[in-house]
Amino acid sequence: MQVLLIGCGKMGGAMLRRWAEADIAQFTVASPNGGSVPAGVPHVRSPAELGDRRFDVILIAVKPQMIDTALPPYMELLASDGCLVSIAAGYSSTRISALVGERPVIRLMPNLPAMIGQGVNGLFANALCTDTHREAATSLARATGSAIWVEDEDQIDRITAVAGSGSGYVFEIARSYVAAAEALGFDTDTARTLVLDTMAGAIEMARRSDQPLETLRNDVTSKNGTTQAGLEALMQDGRLDTLLENTTKAAYARAIELR
């Protein structure tokens, strides 16, 4: 599979490193300044440098506001049976079709842990995509983490709100948790170890268990014990649920604005 990657910033570069390690395709990067192109991956700055080559996949990895100018010059390099795959948040397949004509388009919404192979990837294919196109996108997604297909493009924006932006929420919760540990008297390094190892262990335990999360929470909560006291302060009569619901709804609303 021949893949042309347009753009190679932080997310595109992180995913490309995983793809290159997995050896699932032959990649060429098109980027004016090279971005984060890994060593050994061919890099061009303009379509003219690619001659009459044709690609099975053109993968859009530039910022949404750059797509209108960055994508069209490379469209003649897409093979007749090829497809477009976009990792740009908020830029719909309908907008891509309006820009370059009716083509098979897949949206692949990753998140930052893709750079360590622990990403969550939401995928949507328009009606022109074949099983072959879907298989190609699935292989790209699974090289960086999990692949979750949806049949409604609106669900991609909802995945963006939960998973695409979600690592940012987790990092901020962890930052606040570390600050709380420091307030109890721990130095920064110790607080970071305590918090991140606690979070990692709890998440891995939940992943390995088929028990509801409420059950796991209750298993560690003794009546009138320290965990109960802490949880009551954390939850505050449902305020935590409301806060997280508002967080995801705000991100989803912004994704809709970007369509």
**Half-sphere exposure at residue 48, Cβ-oriented, CA atoms within 13 angstroms:** 1
Domain ranges of the chain: 2-162, 166-257
What average pLDDT does this structure show over 231-235? 93
User: CA angle at residue 182 from 181 to 183, to 5 degrees?
Assistant: 90
User: Cα 247 to the chain's mean position, in Å?
Assistant: 17
Matching CATH number, 2-162, of 3.40.50.300, 3.40.50.720, 3.40.50.10860, 3.40.190.10: 3.40.50.720
Confidence band (pLDDT; 50, 70, 90) for 21?
Answer: confident
What average pLDDT does this structure show over 66-91? 94
- The answer to whether the CB of 209 falls within 8 A of the CB of 219 is no
Mean pLDDT of the chain: 93
What average pLDDT does this structure show over 84-105? 93
Gap between the Cα atoms of 21 and 38, Å rounded: 10
Higher pLDDT, 60 or 9: 60
- Domain 166-257 = CATH 3.20.20.70: no
Give pLDDT tens digits for 153-196.
999 999 999 999 999 999 999 999 999 999 999 999 999 999 99
Higher pLDDT, 231 or 36: 231
Q: How much is the pTM? A: 0.85
What average pLDDT does this structure show over 71-83? 96
In sequence order, what E strands does 93-197 have?
105-109, 119-125, 145-149
